[in-house]
Each structure stands twice: as structure tokens, then as C-alpha cells.
Amino acid sequence: MKKIFYVLSLIIISQFTGCIVFHSVSYDVNVNDDGTGTALLTIENIKTDATTKDAIDVDVKSILEHGWKSQQFIDDMKSEGKIITSRNVVVEKEKLNAIISYQFAEISRVEGLQFDDPYYYLTVPVEDSIISTNGQITRTKDYQRIVWDKSIKILKFKMYSDDTSRDGLKSLAEYFLKEN
């Protein structure tokens, strides 16, 4: 009986909340000689798997009120060593995208990038999908690593997140446009 109640509770809760998914995230990381720099983060094709209007509204408000407009987001990022310099939500080709720029004092604040003279590198699990980079990719059975020579001043990489063309997902672009 407890299992049935638990399953029913999960089904009911999932009807009132959605999960925000996106196709990919790209980074353009400008590195200064002292290891400080700026990062431009672009999250592309943001969608939801919410099934009700109320749940979609919650997802839209989450993006708009927290990520785009709130001081809390800026404070959260600052605690991670990321000083937000700009943030925007835009619709391009009927797709909702988020663009965030920030400054950092240490390269490790950008998704765990590391510097071991004379190279910058990013290590990710083998199951992560690297779409593109201006660095060199090394793959092993345990990890993938993108490596850039320190002479490269703009480190670029783009990672796949989710299949946003699958059934059941709704673009948040139209809901964003209604709110703005």
C-alpha cells in the first residue's frame, strides 16, 4: 500500500512541476596572463517537459525571476567565484536562449578548467558529449579532456545537454514572449 501511495504521489507531483532542459551550453573564456578573465556562457534552446499550464508558468518564472532578474542569482554566482557582468534571455529562431557573462579571478571557477603550465585543460566524463572546441580533445576509457596551449587566449567549447527535439518538450520561447 505504501508503494502505491508513493507512486501516486510522484505522478501527482510531476504533473505540477516540470524539468527545464536545454540542447547545449557553450563557453567563450577569455584568459588574462594572470589567470583572471571573463566567460561568456550561452545556453541554447531551453525547453520544459511540464505538462500543465501552471507547471510551465513555474518554469518560465524560474528562468525570468531567478536567473534573469534576481539578486539571489548574482549572489549565488558570486559565492562560486563568478562575478556576473551581464545576463540576458533572448528568442532566436523560435528558441529560447540564455546568455550570461561573468568575470573570474581563478580559471578553475569556469566549469573546473585547470592550468598546468603551459596548458589549460578541462576534464569531463566519457558520457559527456563535446560538440565543438578550439582545443585538442583526448579520449580515454575513463574521461575526455580538452587541452589548450596557453598561447590561446580565448578557450572555446560547446557541450551537448539533451535532445530537445524529443516528444513531450515545449519551447519556452512563446511563454517568454508573452511575459515580456
CA atoms within 13 A on the CB side of 88: 9
The edge-to-edge listing of strands for the beta sheet with 119-124 is: 114-116, 119-124, 144-149, 136-139
What pLDDT is attached to residue 17?
Answer: 54
Asked if residue 125 has a cis previous peptide bond (ω within 30° of 0), the answer is no
pTM for the whole structure:
0.84
What pLDDT is attached to residue 138?
Answer: 97
Tens-digit pLDDT profile for residues 50-103: 988 888 888 888 877 788 888 999 999 999 999 999 999 999 999 999 999 999
Residues of the chain with confidence (pLDDT) below 50: 1-16
